[in-house]
Chain A
Amino acid sequence: MKIGVVTFPGSLDDVDAQRAVTIGGNDAVALWHGDHDLGGVDAVVLPGGFSYGDYLRCGAISRFSPVMTEVIAAAGRGMPVLGICNGFQILCESHLLPGVLIRNDHRKFVCRDQRLRIDNNRTPWTSAYAEGAEITIVLKNGEGGFVADEDTLDRLEGEGQVVARYLGDNPNGSLRSIAGITNAAGNVVGLMPHPEHAVEDLTGAGTDGLGFFTSLVEQSFA
């Protein structure tokens, strides 16, 4: 499948995300924040980093970039979209996902290998995992605290929209230890930790992140 990876000014992990897409058996297509079309891709990844310098709020300005108009429209038509870290923040600011990511409760940047549990393996990005699978991937963020009002949190849990949770100590103050969520339709996923940094044995925390990039392929052959 052709998976587009958007580069915003200030994106950091776009090249790693492209690499992970390729290792996962897909064709990576580089997209630019100023693009007015998605180049015929089947899915889109919004990578991590500090798009637009995190000015105003993380993701607040990226959300109004030309390419996001296309991403929001395509997501509405059911295209799989994965936002990682800053990409997750952009998806929340775009209202494609509920809630917001705020500064870590302990106020320090966190960078470590993080254990997660996959709570929802029915999304196009997580179907390669068993439900309840425990994985270890990289977590690195300054503003990774997921917050939403109680009703929204109850709805996310009740509808199975929590995709992944932190195991062990809560690393950033995310409510109900939420590390990733999906929208009601299940095609848009936001995840604070970085699966694209855990796809090769040579570097990183292992290869537990690879499933996020192989799930789409497995589905297309299913």
Chain B
Amino acid sequence: MPRVVVDVMPKPEILDPQGKAVLGALPRLGFSGVTDVRQGKRFELEFAGEVTEAVLAEVHQMAETLLSNPVIENFTVRVEQGA
């Protein structure tokens, strides 16, 4: 089954309080060396048929309208094979 993955990340200039919370927790657990954490979202979209260019264009539309808010987030779209 073809799968399209949409990764949504807060834009670099946008404060990411959740990432900051994770960053703060790591040293308390004894993990060192991490200088920054950004937390995003991953969407896995399953399709019954072939993922054509038209399907990918539609996924871009989905990502722009619903999955991300372009004011604060960037997204990437990729096809995952053999899922």
B15 and A105 contacting across the interface, CB-CB below 8 Å: yes
Contact of B17 among A56, A60, A103 (CB under 8 A): A103
A99 and B66 contacting across the interface, CB-CB below 8 Å: no
What sequence of 0s and 1s flags, for each residue 103-114 of chain A, a beta carbon within 8 Å of any chain B beta carbon?
111110000000
> Which DSSP category, helix, strand, loop or mixed, fits chain A's interface?
loop
Asked whether A99 and B71 contact (CB < 8 A) given A105-B15, A107-B20, A147-B15, the answer is yes
Chain B residues within 8 Å of chain A by Cβ, number:
12
Which of B15, B20, B21 lies at the interface centre, i.e. has the most chain A CB atoms within 10 A of its CB? B15
Asked whether A145 and B69 contact (CB < 8 A) given A107-B20, A107-B21, the answer is no
Q: How far is the CB of B13 from chain A (nearest CB, A)?
A: 8
A-B CB pair tally, cutoff 8 Å: 36
B14 and A104 contacting across the interface, CB-CB below 8 Å: no
**Is A12 at the interface (CB under 8 A from chain B)?**
no
A102 and B17 contacting across the interface, CB-CB below 8 Å: yes
**Is B72 at the interface (CB under 8 A from chain A)?**
yes
Interface residues of A (CB under 8 A from B): 56-57, 60, 64, 92-93, 98-100, 102-107, 145, 147-149, 173
- Known A-B contacts: A56-B67, A102-B17, A103-B18. Give 18 more (CB < 8 A): A57-B69, A93-B69, A98-B71, A99-B71, A100-B69, A100-B71, A102-B15, A103-B17, A104-B17, A105-B15, A105-B17, A107-B17, A107-B18, A107-B21, A147-B71, A147-B72, A149-B71, A173-B15
